[in-house]
C-alpha cells in the first residue's frame, strides 16, 4: 500500500487569481493627469522611442477603416505592445471626420484600451483624443529639440494649420522651455486662425509667446519661419515649391501629407518609423513611389538620439512622424497610474461577469 503524504507536506492548491478589474477614464481625468506635465511626458516619449528602437515593442501596421460613400472620413486602429517598465498591450481606435469642424466639433475622437501584459485582460478604456494630441505634441517637441542641437536654435516659428494639434504643439514647446521672437500663423479658415491667435495671446501672458503675425499665403509663412509646423487635415500635397525652403528651416511635418515629394527630395528626412511612415500615401510614401527607393531617408529620430545620424546644417530638415501606437500606450498607462495614485480611478463593477470555466 502506497503511503499517503501527510497534510504537512501536501502541496497547497494554487491560489485563485484575483478577479480582473476594468476602469473607464474620462477626458476630464486624462486632462488632470497630464496638465502641466509637459517635460515629464516628453521624457516618457523619448524613453518609449528608445525602447521601440531597441526592439522592446510590437507595433504592427495601423489599419485604416475607410468608407466608399465618405471618402474624407476614416477610423484607424493602432494595436501595439510595449515592454520596459511600462509593460502593457493595447489598441487606440481613432476617427478622423473633417466635417466635424464645421459643426463645432473637433475633427478627431478616440478611445484607448489597455490590456494586462500577463493575462491579456483589458483593464481600462480611456478617452484618448487628449492622449493622442499629447503624444503627438510631445513627439514634435522632442524632435524640435534633438534636430536643432547642431544648428542655431529656431526663434521664428510658423504654424500652418491652427487646430487642436497646433495648440498642443505650442503648449509642449512652451512647456519644455522654448521661446520665440515671432509666431507666424496661416490657415484656410479665418475662424481657426482667430481662435488660435486668441490662444496665443492668452499664452503670451505667461511669457512664452512672441509677436504674432497672420500670414496671407503659405509662402510668406514658410519664408518667415526657421521652425515650420504643419498641422493640417490635408489629404494630398499642397505645398509644391522647393524654393520656399531655401533658408533651410526645420520642419515638423506632423500632418504628413502637406509637402510635395520634390520638397522632401531636396531636404534631409527624419521619420519616427520607416515602415509605418512609408504607407497610406504620406508625402514620404509618395517620394518613395516617385524615386523607386528610400535613399532620400536619412534615418529615424531614435537614430538621431543615439548619435548614429547627424542632421545636416546646410539643408532643410523635415521630421515626418506617422505616430506610433506604443506612444499612446505609454501615455495612457501614465494616465492610468496617475489616476490610481490619486484615488481617481473609477472601476466598473462586475464588468467581467462569468469568470468560472464551468459555471
Asked if pLDDT for residue 357 goes beyond 80, the answer is no
Three-state SS at 250: strand
Burial pattern 30-42, b for ≥16 Cβ within 10 A else e, equals beebbeebbeebb
With respect to residue 314, please indicate whether it lies within any of the assigned structural domains: yes
Contacts of 182 (CB under 8 A, 6+ apart): 155, 156, 157, 210, 211, 212, 213, 224
202 inside domain: yes
198 burial (CB, 10 Å; 0-12 / 13-18 / 19+) is: exposed
Burial class (CB in 10 A: 0-12, 13-18, 19+), 28: exposed
Domains of the chain: total: 2
Pair (35, 103) in one structural domain = yes
Residues 266-296: tens digit of each pLDDT: 999 999 999 999 998 999 999 999 999 999 9
- Asked whether residue 264 is assigned to any structural domain, the reply reads yes
Instruction: Grade residue 6 by pLDDT with cuts at 50, 70 and 90.
Output: low
Looking at the fold, whether 66 and 116 belong to one and the same domain comes out as: yes
- Domain contains 85: yes
CA atoms within 13 A on the CB side of 152: 11
pLDDT at 324 (0 to 100): 96
Residue 307 above 90 pLDDT? yes
Residues 124, 273: one domain?
Answer: no
Residues 290, 260: Cα–Cα separation, whole Å: 11
Q: 308 lies in which domain range? A: 139-323
Question: Are residue 62 and residue 188 in the same domain, yes or no?
Answer: no
Separation in Å, CA 27 to CA 23, 35, 125, 339:
13, 12, 11, 12
Among the residue ranges 31-45, 99-113, 213-227, the one predicted with the least confidence is: 99-113
Residues 203 and 226 in one domain: yes
Looking at the fold, whether 273 and 318 belong to one and the same domain comes out as yes
Q: Kindly tell me if the per-residue pLDDT of 138 is higher than 60.
A: yes
Cβ contact 142:354 at 8 Å? no
Cα–Cα distance measured from residue 112 to residue 56, given in angstroms and rounded to the nearest whole number: 20
Q: Across the strands, what pairs with 352?
A: none
Rounded Cα distance between 332 and 351, Å, is 20
pLDDT at 337 over 60: yes
Distance between CA atoms of residues 167 and 177, nearest Å: 16
Residue 12 has pLDDT above 90, yes or no: no
What confidence category does residue 106 fall into, taking pLDDT thresholds of 50, 70 and 90?
Answer: confident
Pair 206, 333 in one domain: no
Instruction: Give yes or no for a contact between 104 and 3, defined as CB atoms under 8 angstroms apart.
Output: no
CA gap 331, 311 in Å, rounded: 28
- Rounded to whole angstroms, the Cα distance separating 64 from 78 reads 9
The Cβ-side half-sphere exposure at 243, using a 13 Å CA radius, reads: 2
pTM of the model: 0.91
Indicate whether 113 and 153 sit together in one domain.
no
Cα distance between residue 117 and residue 326, in whole Å: 14
Q: Are residues 330 and 319 in the same domain?
A: no
Question: Is residue 103 located within the same domain as residue 208?
Answer: no
Residue 29's domain is classified under what CATH number?
3.30.1780.10
**Over 80: is that where the pLDDT of 14 sits?**
no
**Residue 113 resides in a domain:** yes
Amino acid at each position: 500500500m502506497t503511503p499517503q503524504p501527510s497534510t504537512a507536506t501536501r502541496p497547497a492548491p494554487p491560489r485563485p487569481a484575483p478577479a480582473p478589474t476594468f476602469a473607464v477614464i474620462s477626458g476630464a481625468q486624462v486632462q488632470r493627469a497630464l496638465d502641466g506635465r509637459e517635460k515629464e511626458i516628453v521624457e516618457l516619449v523619448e524613453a518609449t522611442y528608445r525602447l521601440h528602437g531597441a526592439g522592446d515593442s510590437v507595433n504592427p501596421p495601423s489599419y485604416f477603416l475607410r468608407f466608399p460613400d465618405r471618402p474624407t472620413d476614416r477610423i484607424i486602429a493602432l494595436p501595439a505592445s510595449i515592454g520596459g517598465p511600462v509593460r502593457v498591450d493595447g489598441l487606440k481606435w481613432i476617427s478622423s471626420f473633417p466635417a466635424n469642424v464645421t459643426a463645432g466639433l473637433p475633427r478627431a475622437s478616440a478611445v484607448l484600451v489597455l490590456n494586462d501584459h500577463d493575462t491579456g485582460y483589458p483593464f481600462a478604456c480611456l478617452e484618448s483624443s487628449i492622449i493622442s494630441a499629447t503624444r503627438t505634441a510631445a513627439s514634435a517637441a522632442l524632435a524640435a529639440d534633438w534636430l536643432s542641437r547642431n544648428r542655431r536654435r529656431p526663434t521664428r516659428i510658423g504654424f500652418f494649420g491652427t487646430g487642436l494639434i497646433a495648440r498642443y504643439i505650442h503648449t509642449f514647446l512652451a512647456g519644455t522651455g522654448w521661446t520665440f521672437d515671432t509666431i507666424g500663423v496661416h490657415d484656410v479658415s479665418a475662424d481657426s486662425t482667430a481662435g488660435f491667435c486668441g490662444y496665443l495671446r492668452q499664452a503670451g501672458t505667461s511669457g512664452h509667446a512672441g509677436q504674432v503675425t497672420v500670414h496671407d499665403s503659405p509662402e510668406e509663412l514658410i519664408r518667415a519661419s526657421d521652425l515650420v509646423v504643419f498641422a493640417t487635415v490635408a489629404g494630398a500635397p499642397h505645398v509644391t515649391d522647393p524654393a520656399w525652403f531655401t533658408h533651410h528651416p526645420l520642419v515638423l511635418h506632423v500632418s504628413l501629407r502637406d509637402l510635395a515629394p520634390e520638397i522632401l527630395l531636396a531636404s534631409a528626412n527624419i521619420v519616427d518609423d520607416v515602415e509605418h511612415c512609408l504607407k497610406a500615401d504620406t508625402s514620404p510614401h509618395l517620394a518613395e513611389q516617385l524615386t523607386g527607393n528610400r535613399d532620400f531617408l536619412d534615418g529615424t529620430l531614435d537614430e538621431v538620439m543615439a548619435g548614429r545620424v547627424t542632421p545636416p546644417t546646410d539643408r532643410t530638415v523635415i521630421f515626418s512622424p506617422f505616430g506610433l501606437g506604443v506612444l499612446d500606450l505609454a501615455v495612457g498607462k501614465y494616465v492610468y497610474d496617475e489616476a490610481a495614485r490619486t484615488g481617481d480611478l473609477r472601476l466598473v463593477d462586475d464588468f467581467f461577469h462569468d469568470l468560472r470555466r464551468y459555471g
